[in-house]
Chain A
Amino acid sequence: AQSVTQLDSQVPVFEEAPVELRCNYSSSVSVYLFWYVQYPNQGLQLLLKYLSGSTLVKGINGFEAEFNKSQTSFHLRKPSVHISDTAEYFCAVLDPSNFGNEKLTFGTGTRLTIIP
């Protein structure tokens, strides 16, 4: 079974500063990795995903993430944050080998707060 660890429950960052949200996963098989964002009182929206290929993945709103297999990490980064980035961010993992029964397993989330 897979699991996801998001080490930071809350991250405050000044506007226009860079940010990194950490995500580590545990799995005995190759997995697919995702970052979702949840704005206040809304559902989840896909930011980016890693399925295969280049380990640097670019997503929406200027976010990117790097897959590191040796460190089993998939950290999310943005070089300069904006007030509108205030949200909760979830890392998630999926085992694609379980065909027809693929289920997303989520981390506990990181609340990103942008300080003006």
Chain B
Amino acid sequence: NAGVTQTPKFQVLKTGQSMTLQCAQDMNHNSMYWYRQDPGMGLRLIYYSASEGTTDKGEVPNGYNVSRLNKREFSLRLESAAPSQTSVYFCASNIPGQGNYGYTFGSGTRLTVV
């Protein structure tokens, strides 16, 4: 069982460069999420997709865009990277409303913007 797969695992960008973080899940989950993790701040929600075809902003959406390509894939794009976006990014998925409510997390993408 692969669960939630994130690529790449590590990335270094120069300020102003763009990149897309990929996330795919094979559990037939409806909802998918992108979080960023920063020291002392826990995990903060960037964007989420409650179901295929829908996306919504979370707590810290500025500087990011997302695409729910299909039920399996949810990508996060940085159009013009800034040092403040240096962080560890986690993708997660779940099936809402089914009493489990246990998110499954990917292993993360460690992004450094120089």
| A32, chain B: closest CB distance, angstroms | 6
Q: Would you call B96 and A99 a contact (CB within 8 A)?
A: yes
The answer to whether B56 touches A101 (Cβ under 8 A) is yes
Q: Would you give the 0/1 interface string for A89-102, flagging 1 where the beta carbon is closer than 8 Å to chain B?
A: 01000101001111
A72 at the interface (CB under 8 A from B): no
Interface presence of B22 (CB below 8 A): no
**Chain A residue contacts of B45, Cβ below 8 A:** 103-105
In the bound complex, how far is the Cα of B96 from the Cα of A49, in angstroms?
A: 15
Q: How many residues of A contact B (CB 8 A)?
A: 25
A17 on the B face (CB < 8 A): no
Given known contacts A46-B102, A90-B42, A108-B41, A103 and B107 CB-to-CB distance under 8 angstroms: no
A104 to B45, CA, bound (A): 8
User: CA of A45 to CA of B106 in the docked complex: distance in angstroms?
Assistant: 10
Q: Nearest chain B CB to A110's CB is how many angstroms away?
A: 10
Any chain B CB within 8 A of the CB of A43?
yes
1/0 per residue, CB under 8 A from A, across B44-76: the answer is 110010110000101000000000000000000
> Known pairs A44-B92, A103-B45. 8 more at Cβ < 8 A?
A51-B101, A90-B42, A90-B43, A100-B96, A102-B97, A103-B58, A104-B43, A108-B42
Residues of B near any A CB (own CB < 8 A): 4, 31, 33, 35, 40-45, 48, 50-51, 56, 58, 90, 92, 94, 96-97, 99, 101-103, 105-108
Question: What are 8 sample pairs from A and B whose C-beta atoms fall under 8 A apart?
Answer: A42-B108, A43-B105, A45-B105, A46-B102, A96-B97, A101-B48, A102-B94, A104-B33
